[in-house]
């Protein structure tokens, strides 16, 4: 299975701190995506990193990809209470997009 697995399962930090979430997967991929889900809502796409890229930035988000270790990390800098949500990685190859179980991030004001 290409399923990504995030860790930690839950993360609680103070506003202003950085949050790092990790994703590991099992087989080769064409790209890896990160999504965010607020409680009771649908998922929102955050960033896509292709297999030939090592790092990508978008605002306060930084994503890295290490294909040799089959892992990715999502860093949220200077976190805000509004960043409180669940974060999922999704891996896509030549098959369907498969999601992990997510990291639940709580940012305390």
Partner 1 sequence: GAGVSQSPSNKVTEKGKDVELRCDPISGHTALYWYRQSLGQGLEFLIYFQGNSAPDKSGLPSDRFSAERTGGSVSTLTIQRTQQEDSAVYLCASSPIGLAGGRAGELFFGEGSRLTVL
- DSSP letter, residue 3: -
Told to check if 25 binds partner 1 by CB under 8 A, we report: no
Q: Which of 53, 32, 36 is nearest to 97 (CA)?
A: 32
In the sheet that holds 19-24, the strands lie side by side as 5-7, 19-24, 71-76, 61-66, 55-58
Binding region for partner 1 (CB under 8 A) out of 54-62, 67-75, 77-85, 86-94: 86-94
* Contact track, partner 1, 30-69, x by CB under 8 A: xx-x-x-----xxxxx--x---------------------
Q: Is 24 one of the binding residues for partner 1 (CB under 8 A)?
A: no
């Amino acid at each position: 299975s290409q399923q990504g697995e995030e860790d930690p399962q839950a993360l609680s930090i103070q506003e202003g701190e950085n949050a790092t979430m990790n994703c590991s997967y099992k087989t080769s991929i064409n790209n890896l995506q990160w999504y965010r889900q607020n409680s009771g809502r649908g998922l929102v796409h955050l960033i896509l990193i292709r297999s030939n890229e090592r790092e990508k930035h978008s605002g306060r988000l930084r994503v890295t990809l290490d294909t040799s270790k089959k892992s990715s990390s999502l860093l949220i800098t200077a976190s805000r209470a509004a960043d409180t949500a669940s974060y999922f990685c999704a891996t896509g190859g030549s098959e369907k997009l498969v999601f992990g179980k997510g990291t639940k991030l709580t940012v305390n004001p």
